[in-house]
Amino acid sequence: MSDAAVYAFAKATLTPIASEAEQQFVLAVCRGETSYSTAWKIGEGAGSNNWGAVQEPDPSKPHFEHVDHHADGTKYTARFKVYPSPFHGLTDAAKTILKPNVRAALAAGDGDGAVAAMRVNKYFEAPLGKYVDAVKANHAALVRGAGIQPAITFGSSGNIGLLLVAAALLLTWK
């Protein structure tokens, strides 16, 4: 699936619930997590429509099991959600990613702050800098591939971003 096609689908799907910056951010995360749900292998989630590698805590709901890794590299098996369509997978990924603190950072155009907020929300366990770099690279690829203007920036965190990064570090400090 091309970035241009995914972007057009996201515009039609997410415009009622997400701003341009939020849409670009969600797509950058989903591009990195699952290549817009196309990276799952057969027997490991292929056809699950799970765009954001969203886990399913309830074993009675549709899910598939897949090996993931904790921040220290330890492997564990997690349950990941299965969705009836790409629409459902993308909208749930957006709802999962776009918590109020992420939206606040994105309202300021702050990609670093949005990623830090995701870390605070426990969306991922990877080191913060590594995940920022991944989202930044995927956002740049989305912008190029879809031929759009970037609505968020990375590497120049404003006050919100700095506060969120500090909060993320305090919450994860052991």
In the chain, % of residues over pLDDT 90 = 80
Q: Where are the domains of the chain?
A: 3-172
The residue-averaged pLDDT of 99-113 equals 96
48 CB contacts (<8 Å, ≥6 apart)?
A: 37, 40, 64, 80, 81, 82, 83, 89
Residue 159 has pLDDT above 50, yes or no: no
How far apart, in Å, do the first and last CA atoms of the chain sit? 41
Residue 48 has pLDDT above 70, yes or no: yes
For 39, the token pair is 């990276």
pLDDT higher at 80 or 42: 80
Residue 156 has pLDDT above 90, yes or no: no
* 71-75, 148-152, 167-171: range with highest mean pLDDT: 148-152
Q: Give residue 43's pLDDT.
A: 81
pTM of the predicted model, to two decimals?
0.89
